[in-house]
């Protein structure tokens, strides 16, 4: 088996819009009601994927889910287009939030599981209405991409009484991707218990524990860690806004966890090779970390063995963050390269480079090849997006028949071009 990490990026859908639906996501709230640019957003996403391929990495692709979701709309019985509450529900049925595939599922690679297969559990995303409708279609897509039952198991979402946000609250560490790993599940407590302020803690501890059991993980190689209330209150709606891990390295803000020293000690006890890179609040405040999405980055092992950090341009351009990054690079630490990418359309809606990808350690030969990106396929995607994706969506457009027709036609053209009509 040629086990490597494959990043499956979500292609930004043709209904990409700024409705400000995500409570606790400061960027989403800030840009709610702005005009969006789906064509530019999708092309930025393809450029990011090309960037990773240019580094010598295997790159995967997941497709937008069907929008508008007429089943969701019909179940709500909406009748008054002028009513503000109904407007937000209608916008939820148009959301392109499945582009943030870090929330698609939690993934445990074959070296970690009792049956030696890679397990994926779709996230139920029940905290936010616009995301709670995603998982049945996500499961359909995952079961197509990872249909080889000798190597993969795809689970339905855990019961909706336990909120699960997928890989955005899950990290994996180990000596290599192919070696047995330490799986770290990060959960939040309700705000009344944790000081999280007005924002919800989206990941429930029991959801994380259920996923670990479903995946057949060794309890001795699992950690369940509480996210700090300070981080949630500051707008870190997922752990991947304040921490990211790759192989032996954890890159984290000092205020990411409720018990940072206990967390670091537990990691080092389970993985003596661990290197923990801590960004102090005195250098980069929580507010600056969240505004710049410094930690919502892809921490990658490059083909030469060194680690690179793929960050949004917003982080590279932030004075305090840039100063810290320059100092880190000069210190000869484990992260040797910083690689800025332009994902401004995604950033404005609350998702950086890490949000846009689901990490799956697998042999590429066991994955349905239609979900693996090549240069030729990237060329095709760029041409199709330029032709079919709306250039701009204004808030007043949401719900219109003409926009619905163009969005549906664009996704159908994509599925046809990829040979994935089964997802229609």
Query: Do residues 134 and 358 touch, judged by C-beta distance below 8 A?
Result: no
Helix (H) or strand (E) holding 320: helix 319-330
* Region at 331 (left for phi over 0; alpha for psi -120 to 50; beta for the rest): alpha
271 torsion bin: left (phi>0), alpha (psi -120 to 50), beta (else): beta
Cβ 78 vs Cβ 89: under 8 Å: yes
Rounded CA separation 259/223 (Å):
13
Q: Nearest Cα to 49, choosing from 378, 400, 385?
A: 378
Pull the structure tokens for residue 140: 């359909």
253 is catalytic: no
- 112-122 exposure pattern, b = at least 16 Cβ within 10 A, e = fewer: bbeeebbbbbb
SS3 406: helix
User: Has 118 been annotated as catalytic?
Assistant: no
Rounded CA-CA distance 196/287 in Å is 14
**Shortest CA distance to 188 belongs to which of 221, 237, 121?**
237
204 and 160 Cβ atoms separated by less than 8 Å = no
Q: Of 134, 242, 135, 139, nearest to 188 (Cα)?
A: 242
Instruction: Considering the candidates 134, 165, 226, 314, report the single residue annotated as catalytic.
Output: 165
Q: Which residue shows structure tokens 């990211």?
A: 244
Question: What does the CA dihedral 9, 183, 187, 242 come to, rounded to 10 degrees?
Answer: -60
Give the whole-angstrom CA distance, residue 360 versus residue 107.
6
For the question of residue 190 being annotated catalytic, the response is no
Q: Which of 31, 215, 238, 253 is catalytic?
A: 238
Q: Which of 63, 118, 222, 355 is catalytic?
A: 355
Contacts with 238 (C-beta within 8 Å, 6 or more apart), sequence order: 102, 103, 165, 168, 169, 202, 203, 355
Active site amino acids: 165, 238, 355
């Amino acid at each position: 088996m040629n086990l490597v990490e494959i990043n499956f990026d979500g292609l930004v859908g043709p209904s990409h819009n700024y409705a400000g639906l995500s409570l606790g996501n400061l960027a989403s709230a800030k840009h709610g009601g702005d005009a969006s640019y789906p064509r530019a957003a999708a092309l930025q996403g393809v450029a990011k994927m090309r960037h990773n391929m240019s580094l010598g990495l295997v790159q995967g692709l997941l497709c937008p889910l069907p929008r508008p979701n007429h089943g969701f709309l019909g179940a709500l019985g909406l009748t008054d287009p002028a009513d503000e509450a109904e407007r937000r529900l209608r916008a939820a049925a148009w959301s392109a939030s499945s582009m943030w595939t870090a929330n698609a599922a939690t993934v445990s690679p074959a070296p970690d599981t009792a049956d030696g297969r890679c397990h994926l559990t779709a996230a139920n995303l029940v905290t936010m209405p616009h995301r709670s409708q995603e998982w049945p279609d996500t499961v359909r897509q995952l079961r197509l991409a990872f249909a080889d039952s000798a190597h993969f198991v795809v689970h339905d979402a855990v019961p909706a009484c336990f909120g699960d946000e997928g890989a955005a609250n899950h990290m994996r560490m180990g000596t290599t991707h192919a070696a047995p790993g330490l799986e770290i599940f990060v959960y939040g407590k309700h705000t009344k218990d944790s000081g999280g302020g007005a924002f919800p803690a989206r990941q429930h501890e029991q959801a994380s524990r259920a996923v670990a059991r479903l995946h057949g993980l060794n309890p001795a190689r699992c950690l369940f860690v509480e996210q700090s209330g300070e981080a949630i209150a500051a707008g870190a709606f997922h752990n991947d806004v304040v921490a990211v891990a790759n192989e032996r390295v954890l890159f984290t803000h000092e205020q990411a966890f409720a018990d940072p020293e206990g967390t670091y000690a537990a990691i080092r006890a389970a993985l003596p090779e661990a290197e923990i890179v801590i960004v102090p609040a005195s250098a980069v405040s929580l507010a600056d970390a969240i505004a710049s999405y410094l930690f919502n980055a892809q921490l990658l092992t490059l083909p030469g063995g060194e680690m690179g950090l793929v960050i949004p341009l917003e982080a590279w351009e932030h004075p305090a963050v840039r100063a810290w990054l320059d100092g880190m690079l000069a210190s000869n630490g484990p992260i040797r390269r910083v690689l800025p990418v332009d994902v401004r359309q995604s950033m404005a809606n609350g998702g950086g480079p890490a949000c846009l990808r689901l990490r799956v350690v697998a042999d590429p030969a066991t994955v349905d090849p239609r979900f693996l990106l090549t240069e030729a396929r990237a060329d095709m995607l760029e041409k199709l997006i330029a032709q079919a994706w709306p250039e701009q969506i204004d808030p007043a457009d949401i719900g219109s028949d003409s926009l619905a027709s163009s969005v549906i036609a664009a996704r159908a053209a994509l599925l046809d071009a990829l040979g994935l009509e089964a997802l229609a």
